[in-house]
Structures are given as structure tokens and as C-alpha cells.
A and B are shown apart, each in its own frame.
Chain A
């Protein structure tokens, strides 16, 4: 077999990062390959912090992060966040309709959104586009958050415990959607979870944060 020369999706080198004045990652190194990767570890270990570093919502105190072989800081930060898109742990939508939320990201970049396609990928029926955000359940909001990210046609989705606020039925719904995305789309995702079984179900690789 010919050894692969394709660089890892993300290469993390000797990272130190803090959150709330506390060092949560110190001397952390790992490679995150293309495809689906889970980041697991105890709470407070820096899983969410790590995710925030990957699209530069925060920067590490020390160390380097490479995306496709290039230092993260060499990318235009706004373009990077549209390419490597974070879906936060708690749904946080703008006031207005679902369609306005889904179209928001592409509109910022000066483009048009395919709202129906994004909703369908996130497992939401067409009728959702006109619904107002205030009428949605938490599970539905979480799907709209996913649709909003997918509307940007990202290369990588960063998912921060996307099912932690959901009941069992909504959780398995989101899981099915993620598995479907993995099979149907050429999109990698990095999933933060404290649930090892979920990591096994949804991801082909696991990165452990001590």
C-alpha cells in the first residue's frame, strides 16, 4: 500500500488553552482525520474549548493548529468559520422565521441559501421554513441550528454535544440525521460528546481529551 501524503484534517500540536482563567488543555497533541471523529473526555476536560479553537472562536495560548496542512491563522477567519462551522451545544437562534435563520449565514457571505435542501438534510419537513423560532421545541431548534450550519455547505461541522439537551426520541432522530449526512454528503464532522456509546455509534475515530 502506498503511504498516504494527505495531511490530517486538523493537526493539533502541543496546545495550551484556557477558559474562564483556568488552563483546560496543556501540551495536547492529536490528529483529527477526514470523516467522523468523536472528542470524548470527562466534563471540564476542555472538549468544548478544543472545538472553539478549531474555528477560531478562541485562540490557544500556545501551540499550533493546522487545517489541511496550513496554520489556522493563515486562513481568513470569516471564510474559515463558514468552512469549519460550529453548532453550539445550546440552540441559539435569531428572532424570526426558520427560513430567515437558515438563510442568514449564506446571506452574510453575499449568497443565496437553498433553505429547503438544508432543512431536508437536517431532517425537517418543508413546512418548517415558515414557522417562527419561538414556536419550536428544543429538539426542533437544534435541528434548525444544524440546518443553518449546513446551508453554508461547510467542509467540516463542529458539533458540541448536539443531543445533550434532548430527550431520547429527539436524540436518536439527530443521530440518524448525522449518520445520513456522513453517508450522503462529503462533509467531515467533529463531535464532542461525553457519551462513549454515542461516539461509537456516530464516529469512525475517537480523540480522547485527558
Chain B
């Protein structure tokens, strides 16, 4: 595979497109100029920093650094997703465990199945993708769970009143939350190649890879993501749903009250 070299000049030139975004934002008074600037600057700083981190890890070629990087990504993923799951009491731990399990099982499986070797060059980018997508799915699922438990409190309590356990009473709500967490990825997987070209494929094609190779690698990653996203959303919902209830199968008033 040939390698592609992108100069800082090329990056600077692409800022012209950010200027287009800013111009449209000003013209249409969307008041998003500040957000666009912050997003563009953050992307530059964060990607540059992680670029150096990844270079360091590749140079060391030690798995312990890979594990440390993935642990940090899981931690930040859980902290970020928690902000989307405000209506779920104590959402941090379910999210942290969900992302950790999704990362470990997914990476473990792709290595065990011989799809990728257990080296930093593969584990770091695949891990980053897995955790990023798992975070989004878990955050969407818990966001929905928090809203739906508050909205369905009457129905949940009516079910508890018949002698249902907390898990039984919240099951329809939990199922909807799980679905809303994973449906975006299923939809984008369905339309991939038709409506949009996924990032890995674009990157490989730009880097000069043969289209067949680009497609195959993209397929491996899409299938990997499906598994990891379902795992993360399921674990997050299963762990988080308990936080709405007391051990005596009572819906916590604070869980509903804190949700307004």
C-alpha cells in the first residue's frame, strides 16, 4: 500500500471550507459561528495531540501502552456520554462498564478470530472506532431510557403493583431504549455505499489502496461495529435500569423528580 503525505499547507487550505461554513452561518444568522470555530480548533488540537500519542505508541510497539490508551478513551467516553444521560441516576458506572466490555470483547474477538494481529497499528484505530461508536449508542440509549422512565412512571408503577419485578416493569421501556441506541448504526450500515461512503473506505482510497481492499476492510469494521454497539447499548441499559429502583422494586421518586 502506498502512503499519502498531507502537508500543513494542505490542512490550511482546507480551512477555506470552514470559512464557507462561517459565512453561511453569518449570512443566515444561525448564531453558530462560535460553535463552528470552537469545533474546528478543537478538532485540530485534539487530532494533532492524539496523532503524537499514536506515533509514540506505534514507536514503542508495546501492548501496555495500547491498553492504557484504550482505558483513557473508555473513561472519557463514559464521562462524555454521561452528559447525554442526565436523567439516569448515577449513569457513569453503567456507561463505563458498557464501554469497557464493548471494547474488550470486540477487540478480543477480532484478534482471536485472526482478523487483525494484536499490534498497536491495528488495535489503536479499531479500538478508537469501537469506543466512539459504542459511546454514541450507549448515550442515545440511556438518554431515551431516562426520558421514557419519567414519561412512563405511571405505567411502570401500575405494573409493579401487580407484583412485577423492577426488571419486568421496565422491560418495554428498556427495549425501546436499546432500539433507539442501535438503530442509527443499522440504518447507516444499510445505506453504506449507496448514500454515503464510510470513513475507512474513503481514507484507504485516498491513501491509494485498491478499491477491493478498501471495501473488505470497511466491511470488517462495519460488522465489528454492529457487534460492539449492540453490546455497549445492552450493557448500559441493563445496568442503568436498576438505578431507577430500590431493592424492594420501588420506583425511586428521586429518579422521576430529578427528571423534572
Contact = CB atoms under 8 A, between A and B. Distances in A.
A158 to B, nearest CB: 8
A86 B158 CA distance: 8
Contact of A82 (B154, B158, B163, B249): B163
Nearest to A160: B161
Contacts of B67: none
Interface size class on chain B is 10 to 19
Interface string B154-182: 11011111111100100010000000000
Interface size class on chain A is 20 to 34
Contacts of B158: 88, 92-93, 145
A108 interface: yes
B162 A152 contact: yes
A57 B157 contact: yes
Q: Which of A77, A85, A152 has the most CB of B within 10 A?
A: A77
A78 interface: yes
B257 interface: yes
Nearest to B254: A21
Contacts of B257: 20-21
A94 B257 CA distance: 23
A85 B161 contact: yes
A6 B163 CA distance: 27
Contacts of A109: 163
A58 B248 CA distance: 9
A20 to B, nearest CB: 7
Interface in A78-97: 78-79, 81-82, 85-88, 90, 92-95
A59 B162 contact: no
Contacts of B161: 55, 57, 81, 85-88, 149
Contacts of A92: 154-155, 157-158
Contacts of A87: 161
A108 B168 contact: yes
B89 to A, nearest CB: 16
Given A57-B157, A58-B253, A81 B248 contact: no
A75 B138 CA distance: 37
A56 B253 CA distance: 13
Contacts of B172: 94-95
Contacts of A145: 158
Nearest to A95: B172
A41 interface: no
Contacts of A47: none
A185 to B, nearest CB: 18
Nearest to B160: A57
Contacts of A58: 250, 253
Interface string B232-258: 000000000000000011110100010
A205 interface: no
Given A56-B248, A58-B253, A108 B162 contact: yes
Nearest to A89: B154
Contacts of B163: 78-79, 81-82, 85, 105, 108-109, 152
Interface string A13-47: 00000011100000000000000000000000000
B163 to A, nearest CB: 4
Contacts of B165: 78
A85 B159 CA distance: 11
Given A56-B248, A88-B161, 14 more contacts: A20-B253, A21-B257, A56-B250, A58-B250, A59-B250, A77-B249, A82-B163, A86-B161, A88-B154, A92-B154, A92-B157, A145-B158, A148-B162, A152-B162
Q: Which 7 A-B pairs have the closest CB atoms?
A: A105-B162, A82-B163, A92-B158, A86-B161, A81-B163, A92-B155, A78-B163
Interface of B: 154-155, 157-165, 168, 172, 248-251, 253, 257
Interface of A: 19-21, 55-59, 77-79, 81-82, 85-88, 90, 92-95, 104-105, 108-109, 145, 148-149, 152
16 contacts: A20-B257, A21-B257, A56-B248, A57-B250, A78-B163, A78-B164, A78-B165, A85-B161, A86-B161, A87-B161, A92-B157, A93-B158, A94-B155, A94-B172, A104-B159, A149-B162
